[in-house]
Structure 1
Amino acid sequence: MNLSGKRIAVTGAFGALGSVVSAAVKSAGASVACVDFAPVTKAPAALQGYVLIGAVDLGNAAAASAAIQSAASQLGGLDGIVNIAGGFRWEMVADGDAATWDFMFNVNVRTVLNASKAALPLLRTPGARIVNIGAAGAVKAAAGMGAYAAAKAGVARLTEALADELKDGGVTVNAVLPSIIDTAANRADMPGAQFDRWVKPEQVADLIVFLLSDRASAVTGALIPITGRV
């Protein structure tokens, strides 16, 4: 896929998935601004030379707006945003805490809302793209995933609503729904799992690059499962 000349912001870019997506987007020809909650000093070495914007709390609307404006300023404009920033908590409802639900909403839904809203004035041109990271668990949740799955279901509904708002302007909004992503952290948390059944970060990145490309111009409001063999 060719993203030559496109200027893309990636949130959650310092993480295991975000860093792979950032590299894939750059390899496809785009200029990339990497935004993350962690400070720039925590950025992976592989992202050296990219536009790095760290210590950003995307749950705060003003901070999100400043970060996206900075990304656009340093890139010379903005043609797309990939919303990867988020988090996971495993907690049973019976012995859990309602605060977890607030936390999951804040890190998974509010971050996408704030970053997307901040980007909208910069993306009001045909061919602009918004790609969100949802979760397969939002379609069918398992025990311990109530708060996380509910938050990711919120990302799905936000994706659909925003896609409908922007469809007449030629701006597409889509979400990818991964199952378990094969990262070092997930392997450590589930050492007995069959890792070869999980989806690879590179596979998720390939799908995101397609959705950012001109070839995906007819795809909007889609919630696309990418689940490996889970």
Structure 2
Amino acid sequence: MNKARYVVTGGFGALGRAIGDALLASGAQAALVDQAPAAAGLPAGALACGGADLCDPHAARRCIDGVAERFGGLDGIVNVAGGFAWESVEHGDIATWDRMYAMNVRTTLLASQAALPHLLRQGRGRIVNIGAMAAGRAQAGMGAYAAAKSGVARLTEAMAEELLARGVTVNAILPGIIDTPANRAAMPDADTSRWVAPAALAEVVLFLLSDASAAVTGALLPVMARGLD
């Protein structure tokens, strides 16, 4: 039986690496794509594709086409690439809004567009986007980020409707705060008990990539850490 073949954008970050680990453990092939250069600590057995500018349509297509050629096809893509910025609306810079849009929406759009010909060619596939709980309700200082993640949610819904009868499902997960070293460093005094672990998010992603999720499309799934026992 052929191994399933997936691309994970933002693959060198904490969540991308966790998803790569989970995919490899499930027996799938995984290509981790990132703008950063490849570095130590990436999952053993993953195809590392560093230096990929997913904000550029031609670069995104070259990258995804290259992975599909290497794997002999593509079964799905997980769009993790994104970014966060805290900035008030009152004193904010429009450049922050442009940057949040580019990092979160543009990368998801262009990577998905690049993957679609490969998915549609075989008549089935999975697209999983990483959104955020902030897409539903923004808090102070999160206007640009929340607007961008809301864009990811609307993009997910639009793609799901467009591809409904063509064998490709499109869903998004909406994490709360992800328990990463970067977030712990940025919020040293925060209560981390309700933060969600990357490995827990990876399990939800695996479900959405699986055959068991074939009837699920256009879903925006909140993912939070469970309460303490």
What band does the TM-score fall into relative to the shorter chain?
over 0.9
Question: What's the C-alpha RMSD, in Å, of the aligned pairs?
Answer: 1.4
User: 4+ residue stretches of structure 1 with deviation over 4 A?
Assistant: none
Q: For residue 217 of structure 2, what is the amino acid of its counterpart?
A: T
Question: Which residues of 2 match residues 1-230 of structure 1 at below 5 A?
Answer: 5-40=3-38, 42=39, 44-124=40-120, 125-228=122-225
Identity between Structure 1 and Structure 2 (%): 56
Query: CA deviation digits over 1:64-114, x for unaligned, max 9?
Result: 001101111111110000000000000001111011000000010000000
- Given that 1:127 and 1:214 are in contact with CA atoms closer than 8 Å, whether structure 2 keeps it comes out as no
- Given that 1:32 and 1:75 are in contact with CA atoms closer than 8 Å, whether structure 2 keeps it comes out as no
Query: CA deviation digits over 1:104-158, x for unaligned, max 9?
Result: 0001000000000001100013441000000000101100000000000000000
- Paired with 2:202 and 2:104, the residues of 1 have a C-alpha distance of 19
Uncovered stretches (5+) of structure 2, i.e. residues with no partner: none
User: Partner of 2:35: helix, strand, or coil?
Assistant: coil
Alpha-carbon distance change, 4 to 137 in structure 1, aligned in 2, over 3 angstroms: farther
User: Partner of 1:175: helix, strand, or coil?
Assistant: strand
Task: Give me the TM-score of the superposition, normalised by structure 2.
Answer: 0.95
